[in-house]
Amino acid sequence: MTAIVDHRSGAPRRSAAQLVHGLLSMPAGAILLVFVVVQLACIIAGLLFPDDFRYLSPQNMGIMMRSVPVLGCLALGAGLLMIAGEFDLSIGSVYTFTAVVMAVLVGNGIDAFIAAPIGLMIGAAIGLLNGALTLRFNLPSFIVTLGGLLFWRGAVLLFNGAVQVRFDPNPVFNEMFSGTILGINAAFVWFILLCLVFWALLHRHRFGNHVFATGGNRSAATAIGVNTNRIKLAAFAIAGFMAAFAGILATTRVGSVQPGQGAGLELQAIAACVIGGLSLRGGRGSILGVFLGVMLIFTITDVLLLMRAPGFYLDMFIATLIVLASIFNHGLDRRGASI
């Protein structure tokens, strides 16, 4: 009898250990575990102390859903590019630049439904330019896009001066990007949709297979017949496009563009990717990881705000999270290489 009981209690424990092990060896497994634990802790705390810790209040949920998509969209583009083995530091500036262009166009009487695609095209074109420079002259994309960061930041001031631009689109446009759909913030719906599109593209489409191959082992991919230059160019263009899309979401939500609003966002986007398990050397990562990385940054920010922590704690916590995540990922990389 005791033997049976022992057997029974042993089996699920072993399978639970296997489950955890399997989860940790998944590209985004560890971050998923951390995310679930943090969410559960927040929800329990929210239920226990509904007055002091308003995590579950509709206002807080609304703030979360409004603030996630901008960084989320930037991180999706930056993440795809990182998996292809390149960086884009200019996305923060591109985000501001395309938003300013779009807002000025709308201010001059052009319909937002025409101005927004123009912004997206400019974003993609700047991405292509970054890619072309990187590949043509065989430079590190870090340097090229560092140039891009400064250049487009300056271009914002050249284009419209250091003044705030009002953005007053038609109501349909407004409703589409900052209204609510079935009670959910529209920007958040866009973000979720884009996550699904990126997931399909990266994990279920030929393009994604080539992106992983290009970032993972470029010479092998070339030898097999993948056009790695074209893949990298496309990834750069997508990163620029997503930066412009983030610009649309942010501008519609706030109703104006500040010339300095994108500063530092590119680093936050890369941070979200690193937390989500993307390798800085490329070839490793998942869209689920990027999504969770973004969500985790905002959840922790949110928790600290709800606990009325001073602002500098936010940066310190996120910094710690980045370093911990990369230590963990580095361990995974090394383990993979040593086998």
Partner 1 sequence: MSLLALHNINKTFGPLKALTDLSFEIGHSEVVGLLGDNGAGKSTTVNMLSGIHRPSSGYISVDGKRCDFTCRRDSAEAGIETIYQNTALVDCLSISRNIFLGRELTDRFGFLDLKRMREIAMQVLESAVHISGIDSPDKLVGDLSGGQKQAVAIARAVFFKRRVLLLDEPTSALSVRETEALLQQVLKLKDEGVSSVLVTHNLYHAYQVCDRFVIMSHGTKVFDVAKAETTIEELTQHVVLT
Q: From the centroid of its chain, how far is CA 49?
A: 31
- Rounded to a whole number of angstroms, the minimum distance from the CB of residue 335 to partner 1 is 10
Distance between CA atoms of residues 39 and 270, nearest Å: 22
Residue 166 vs 335, nearer CB to partner 1: 335
User: Which member of 13, 205, 230, 334 binds partner 1 (CB under 8 A)?
Assistant: 205
CB 121 within 8 A of CB 248: no
Among 119, 99, 88, residue whose Cα is nearest residue 262? 99
Interacting residue with partner 1 among 66, 153, 210, 253 (CB under 8 A): 210
Per CB under 8 A, 207 contacts partner 1: yes
Stretch that binds partner 1, among 180-188, 189-197, 213-221, 262-270 (CB under 8 A): 213-221
Please tell me the distance from the alpha carbon of residue 97 to that of residue 105, in angstroms, as a whole number: 12
CB of 210 to partner 1, least distance (A): 8
65, 184 Cβ separation under 8 angstroms: yes
> 3-state DSSP call for residue 169?
coil
Other residues' Cβ atoms within 10 Å of the Cβ of residue 147: 15
From candidates 166, 204, 230, 330, binder to partner 1 by CB under 8 A: 204
Which of 198, 204, 219, 224 minimizes the C-alpha distance to 291?
Answer: 198
Site for partner 1 in 126-145 (CB under 8 A): none
98 contact partners, CB below 8 Å, separation of at least 6: 119, 120, 122, 123, 243, 244, 247
Q: Give the three-class secondary structure for 181.
A: strand
Nearer to partner 1, 8 or 334 (CB): 334
Amino acid at 80: L
Nearer to partner 1 among residue 221 and residue 292 (C-beta)? 221
Residue number, 43 or 224, with CB nearest to partner 1: 224
One character per residue 280-309, x = contact with partner 1 (rule: CB under 8 A): ---xx-------------------------
| Of 151, 175, 153, 124, residue with least CA distance to 258 | 153
Contacts of residue 48, defined as CB under 8 A and 6 or more positions apart, other chains included, come to none
Count Cβ atoms below 10 Å from residue 107 Cβ, excluding itself.
14
By CB under 8 A, tell whether 330 contacts partner 1.
no
Query: Of these, 4, 5, 162, 337, which contacts partner 1 (CB under 8 A)?
Result: 337
Nearer to partner 1, 57 or 209 (CB): 209
Please identify, using beta-carbon distances, which residue of 31 and 213 lies nearer to partner 1: 213
Sign of CA dihedral 249, 251, 254, 255: negative
Binding part of the chain for partner 1, among 28-36, 161-169, 210-218, 311-319 by CB under 8 A, reads 210-218
Q: What residues numbered 218-277 form the site for partner 1, per CB under 8 A?
A: 219-226
Closest CB to partner 1 among residues 221, 325 = 221
Taken as a whole, the chain contains a residue count of: 339
The residue among 23 and 104 lying less far from partner 1, judged by its C-beta, is 23
Q: Closest approach of Cβ 237 to partner 1, in Å?
A: 17
Q: What is the binding site for partner 1 (CB under 8 A)?
A: 200, 204-207, 209-210, 212-213, 215-217, 219-226, 283-284, 336-337, 339
